[in-house]
Chains A and B, each alone.
Chain A
Amino acid sequence: MSSVATAPKKGFDFKAFLANNGALVGLVILCLALFIATPRFLTGPNLLNIGIQVSTIAVMAFGMTFVIVAAGIDLSVGSVAALSAMGSSYAITTAGLPDGLSIPIGLAVGALCGWVTGAMSAYGKLPTFIASLAMLTVVRGLTLVISDGRPISTSSSVSWLGDDLGPIPMPIVILVVSGLLAAFVLNRTVIGKNAFAVGGNTEAARLSGIPVKRVLVTVFVISGVFAALSGMILAGRLDSAQPTLASGYELDAIAAVVIGGASLSGGVGRISGTLIGALVLAVIRNGLNLLSVSAFWQQVVIGAVIAIAVGFDVLRRKNVKH
């Protein structure tokens, strides 16, 4: 009697690959279809354009992945992105602080917002949905208060986030770097592994000695920091921090994470999946634009895609579990 019953067969199991990478397969099919449908899809400028489009949502969704893996949800990310972008610009262009502080201030604002949301749900026992919903409104309100409802021009270091690094747009560079960083933190560090444990079974995690409350606060801080980064990229591209910046982005970020295979009940999620989820959304938007589908119909299509993608995933999971 051995402890290892039978070693799984080696070699490539195509069926299992398909089942585990539904979103990736969908993305490839989507790209192929667009490649056939329009010659304008597979061109350098268009791909860079998609890359820039995807960067803001993806960066935000990277942070969201941590929260969702820990079985929470963060509805405040769009507002946090706006306040961070606003704060980073306000501190320099209005309050006159040195330019080098701009990005750190933006990130700190994001971290602080995340900390408040996390503390409200961990120590104040509010469900994350409610805590972050409250923050969504409060933070957006603060943004409007600070800016008095008007755009503020960005500091030069934030503008730099929207520029190019050689031939490659900075947003894409940030996307890659922050994606690698997020994946590393999620999979290799105690913080990330704790998030999985807490999301998978809070009670079991607690009884194993994992500091559940601290974990919850930490994932929200991470989400806030990534939201801040995303907000500053957006502001950098526009060269101004708009008070309405990134409003509604939280829904795209959540959709990206879920299309990427994470479970809203927690314990499951991958950064690579989230990136694919964000790409799916961006490619569909781009394709529909290229095919000049009206903006109204685009919303219908995107909603349907989210439902289908997640529906497939639920089915797959059901088959795996029993």
Chain B
Amino acid sequence: MGNDALLVLDKVCKSFGPVQVIDEVTVEVHAGKVSVLLGENGAGKSTLIKMIAGVHEPDAGRILMDGKAVKIPNTKASEALGIATIHQELNLVPSMTIAENITLGRVPRKFGIINRRAMRQIARDAMDKLGLKLDVDTPVGELGLAQQQLVEIAKALSLDARVLILDEPTAALTKSEIAHLFSVVNTLKAQGVGMVFISHHLDEIAEIGDFVNVLRDGKFIATVPADTEENELVRLMVGRDIDAQFPRVATEPGEQPLLSVKNLSDGMLKDISLEVRPGEVVALAGLMGAGRTELIRAIAGADKYSSGSVAVNGKKLASFDVAAATRAGIGHVPEDRKTQGLVLDASVAENIGYATMASTAKSGLVDRKGQKARAQQVAERLRIRMGSIDAPIRSLSGGNQQKAVFGRWFTAGAKVLLLDEPTRGVDVGAKVEIYELINEITASGGCVLMASSELPEVLGMSDRVLVMSQGRIAGELATEEATQDAIMSLAVSNVHREEEMGTK
């Protein structure tokens, strides 16, 4: 690559305390090209792009924009240089509307008064680019995670930047929204915008990327073309081969259902009945807004439901009572780790241990040694990369935080695991570790209900697939017959029917 790069990170370094996280890494961003950053969880991808976004300043090395050295001490400076960033974790104000969030920090004004009409227009334009049809006056807190992610993307797009950074934008999205996003990326490419793209979905890299910069343990490993074979990419990134990406070991399911849901209804959910037997992994597929998250939350006791029942091992659970559900053996990995899964100021050990803290306590005293030992054990199995088990979980990379939330319920010995996109942001190697733990749970008579938008994961890890559509279960597929097309036709089935009846 020549010197025509739009933006260059030149031999940058970054340490947090004694830990060196980025070690002399050089990355270039070219106009009209998508430069992919690839690496395991904790390799330093987010840290690297945060230097461009004005969150961290490099300890050493230079940042060059159009060949000139620049300093980017804060977000404002980054935006002023024409850089827009979509961070891995959402940065939205839940109580504010979509329009307010998109124009946050640069509210259009007329005579010093907020120009609401212009504000809505900016928001609507940005949403249109993504093909999003949401009312821009909706408070962001009322949206699901995928929609929030899209708002975050729209916000970055509305900046009309020359450099666009996308840190795992697709982790929370389903196929169709990803397709929309990629068509926007292609348009931006044609307009000469330089992009940095991070994702753990290797198939997306070939689809959208131009070249791939591989990082390992904070060090630069190689730059390769985006059409490099996936196996080769994995080898570069992990430094070893991964045998089976989906090591599902099916077990003969038991007779009596472990989890049974009968006629569950509530606002969004319409008359849902399902059973999961011991030893089974059942996947929930569907489009965004199909009600998968709502269903999982209702079963977990996180939300109220108006009618129907949930039973574990034949014993009915009270509605809206997580503590009771937990005691009955339910474990719930929620969709958004940052707002629903983790206490960011608490340590890794504490976060892993919340579900076992009360049950292992002796006369009200926390079993500190045991809690730590259990956390250490699961952290090692999941290869959670951390300063120490006592480090605040805030300091872990996104994928490693996700592993910790999963680890919590494995440690708690949950028998009924409710997983909402359990491997969101987790790298290929660590996914396998999570799948191994799922196997262990089913082998010992537990069961798993897993909402996943990743088709390979659904196909590779589940025993059968329930497809949801508009709050109903539209149909069931055996995993062997669950092709992309078969799932899609079920996922949109209700939509068609209701359109035909003219109710929508």
Contacts and interface: CB of A to CB of B under 8 A. Distances in A.
Given A6-B18, A8-B388, A209-B355, A190 B366 contact: yes
B289 interface: no
Contact of A1 (B302, B343, B350, B383): B383
B55 A6 contact: no
B386 A206 contact: no
Contact of A209 (B322, B339, B365, B384): B322
A190 B361 contact: yes
B322 A207 contact: yes
B56 A322 contact: yes
Interface stretch (B145-153, B309-317, B326-334): B326-334
Interface string A1-24: 101111111000000100000000
B343 A206 contact: no
Interface size range on B against A: 35 or more
A211 B383 CA distance: 30
B408 interface: yes
B346 to A, nearest CB: 6
A193 B322 contact: no
Contacts of B350: 193, 196-197
B386 A203 contact: no
A67 to B, nearest CB: 17
A200 interface: yes
A321 B327 CA distance: 35
A5 B357 contact: no
Given A190-B357, A206-B322, A209-B323, A267 B346 contact: yes
B175 interface: no
A22 B339 CA distance: 30
B387 A204 contact: no
A6 B55 CA distance: 23
Given A193-B350, A205-B343, A322-B56, A188 B366 contact: yes
B380 A200 contact: no
Contact of A8 (B17, B341, B345, B408): B17
B343 A193 contact: no
Given A8-B19, A207-B322, A210-B323, A201 B343 contact: yes
A64 interface: no
B340 interface: yes
B56 A201 contact: no
A302 interface: no
A191 B365 CA distance: 9
Contacts of A196: 343, 346, 350
Nearest to B40: A1
A163 B473 CA distance: 73
B379 interface: yes
A189 interface: yes
A70 to B, nearest CB: 12
Given A188-B365, A204-B340, A209 B386 contact: no
Interface residues of A, number: 32
A208 interface: yes
A207 B341 contact: yes
B42 A5 contact: yes
A136 interface: no
Interface string A293-313: 000000000000000000000
Interface in B327-386: 327, 332, 334, 339-346, 350, 354-355, 357-358, 361, 364-366, 368, 379-380, 383-386
Contacts of A200: 343-346
A209 B364 contact: no
A209 B412 CA distance: 11
A268 interface: yes
Contacts of B383: 1, 3
Which of A4, A204, A206, A322 has the most B CB atoms < 10 Å from its CB? Answer: A204
A209 B327 contact: yes
A196 B366 CA distance: 13
A9 B386 CA distance: 15
Given A9-B18, A191-B364, A207-B300, A201 B339 contact: yes
A5 B354 CA distance: 24
A207 B342 CA distance: 10
A4 B357 CA distance: 24
B20 interface: yes
A67 B345 CA distance: 17
B214 to A, nearest CB: 15
B217 interface: yes
Given A3-B385, A4-B387, A200-B344, A208 B368 contact: no
B325 interface: yes
Contacts of A205: 343, 354
17 contacts: A1-B217, A1-B239, A4-B387, A5-B387, A6-B387, A8-B17, A193-B350, A200-B344, A200-B346, A204-B341, A207-B334, A208-B355, A209-B322, A209-B325, A210-B323, A267-B345, A322-B50
Q: Which 4 A-B pairs give the minimum distances between C-beta atoms?
A: A209-B326, A200-B343, A208-B354, A201-B343
Given A208-B354, A209-B354, 10 more contacts: A3-B386, A5-B42, A6-B19, A6-B20, A189-B364, A189-B366, A190-B366, A194-B358, A204-B343, A268-B345
Interface of B: 17-20, 40, 42, 50, 55-56, 217, 239, 300, 302, 322-323, 325-327, 332, 334, 339-346, 350, 354-355, 357-358, 361, 364-366, 368, 379-380, 383-388, 394, 408
